[in-house]
Amino acid sequence: MIGRLNHVAIATADVAAASKVYAEALGAEVSDPVDLPEHGVRVVFVTLPNTKVELLEPLGPGSPITAFLERNPAGGLHHVCYEVGDIRAAAAQLVASGARVLGDGEPKIGAHGKPVLFIHPKDMGGVLTEIEEV
């Protein structure tokens, strides 16, 4: 079921400053920021040879990233994302194994324009986990 690691997401209060570190200090290819109001975030993708890093900044006080940054003011690892071939089958398998899908259980369109779901961190070794259909 599980495919390759699609990205590691890092929450930050300032994607411009974080992007600068990746671009200038590490020499990485960094995308332009994109606002995703339906998810309450501004995202930037850092392209690496084997995966991506997703930088997340909150879009207002209702963003899930706002709450994360209140608990972790310096930012930090927010979630990991794995690719799956069939998101509904993957979700059903996870639920059958005892994992909880967050939200209403229906896939939403993520930053890559593909269906995504999030799995509760308590059911995934303490890590918020996103699955993305590819």
**Which residues belong to the active site?**
130
How far from chain centre, in Å, is Cα 44?
Answer: 11
Any idea which residue has 């069939």 for tokens? 86
State the Cα–Cα distance between residues 121 and 80, nearest whole angstrom.
Answer: 10
* 116 contacts: CB under 8 Å, gap ≥ 6: 81, 87, 107, 108, 109, 110, 130, 131, 132, 133
State the Cα–Cα distance between residues 33 and 54, nearest whole angstrom.
Answer: 10
Q: Give the chain's largest Cα–Cα span.
A: 45
